[in-house]
Structure 1
Amino acid sequence: MQDPLLIIALVACLGVLVILLLGINAFRKGTAESAKESNKYMRWRLMAQFGAVVLIMLFVWVRGQTGN
């Protein structure tokens, strides 16, 4: 668990979870303004999720190259 790339990927996944929960909470309010806010959070989530997937794939590739 000392691999810095793994730790960064896990933090990115937690960030995605936090953004997802913020978007769901904003959507729960049910007003037009909260729908816009929820949509904004979901766009952020997509970008964060893309970054997390790239980091995970990078981790898998690096681990495959080093043989660990």
Structure 2
Amino acid sequence: MWLEDTLSYSCVYFKTAEDTLYEAQMNKILHILKKLNLKPGQKQFDIGCGWGYLIIEAAKLYNVISL
């Protein structure tokens, strides 16, 4: 198991063979966040969030409230 800056213990999404592990992790996170169709001010509650990188990115990129 290899961890990069997101400290995530989950699958990744390689868009190209040249993607780094960090880029693949970010591809996955951004893909998930896009699918959630988040709106500013919405509240999100992440159970089992590990180090919390996904909810941190959601708060930064979509201005949602993370609980």
Please say which structure displays the higher CA radius of gyration. 1
Structure with greater helix percent: 1
- Indicate the structure with greater strand content: 2
Does the pair score TM above 0.5? no
Higher relative contact order (CA 8 A, sep 6+): 1
What TM-score do the two structures reach when normalised by structure 2?
0.30
State TM-score, norm by structure 1. Answer: 0.30
